[in-house]
Amino acid sequence: MLRIIVITDTPFLRSEADTVSMLLDEGVERVHLRKPGSDESDMRRLIESIDPRLYPQLTLQDHLPLAAEYGIGGVHLNARNKSVPDSFGGLVSRSCHTFDELSQCTGEDYMFLSPLFDSISKRGYRAAFTADSLRRAAARGIISRRVVALGGIEPRHLPQLCDLGFGGAAFLGYIWQAPSQQLLRQRIRKIVNYTESCFNS
């Protein structure tokens, strides 16, 4: 099964904890809490508003030391957070933007490769890889089940990602630009259905 990950929008949203719970209940494997520039106190409030039974399915992209304190399941490394907190023993993921960066990753559980397609949430943030370059990277084993596609991902891209050997897809703009909770739920179900059909075909 293709790993489905959702990354939160940057601002703290009303009823965000309920939305995170719904995403995980509908089939999302992990939710990354990404709040660059946030205060630790605001991140604590968000974490504490989420049902603790879901903590193993969360990953922190900011304020990483809170992961061990609350029993959060994962931490994510990037330009802002370059090392795993000493007290943390869960899943580790990392942001990569080139094939060379991917090749240098050894201990991470999975890595994001981005941007795969033109961004939905960031104007002017264009795809960094051609279809040919992705096929060549897949043939060389650089793209593997540990690599999660990020950037402009929509359900229609999932069969292509499966064919290339990606282990997962991370969604941001496609999810958070849904104008209602009902449409958001429909989008998640569409993603799950595409994923299941991809692996059952």
What is the pLDDT, as a whole number, of residue 127?
A: 87
Alpha-carbon gap, residue 61 to 161, rounded angstroms:
24
What is the pLDDT, as a whole number, of residue 125?
A: 73
pLDDT tens readout for residues 190-201: 898 888 766 555
Alpha-carbon gap, residue 47 to 70, rounded angstroms:
8
Alpha-carbon gap, residue 173 to 153, rounded angstroms:
8
Average pLDDT over residues 175-179: 87
Average pLDDT over residues 43-69: 97
State pTM to two decimals. 0.93
Average pLDDT over residues 99-119: 93
What is the pLDDT, as a whole number, of residue 119?
A: 76
What is the pLDDT, as a whole number, of residue 123?
A: 67
How far from chain centre, in Å, is Cα 23? 12
Average pLDDT over residues 105-130: 86
Average pLDDT over residues 168-184: 90
pLDDT tens readout for residues 130-143: 999 999 999 999 99
Confidence of residue 22 (pLDDT cuts 50, 70, 90): very high
Q: What is the DSSP string of 94-117?
A: EEE-SHHHHHH--S-SEEEE--SS
Domain map of the chain by residue range? Answer: 3-200
- CATH number of this structure's domain 3-200: 3.20.20.70
Confidence of residue 122 (pLDDT cuts 50, 70, 90): low
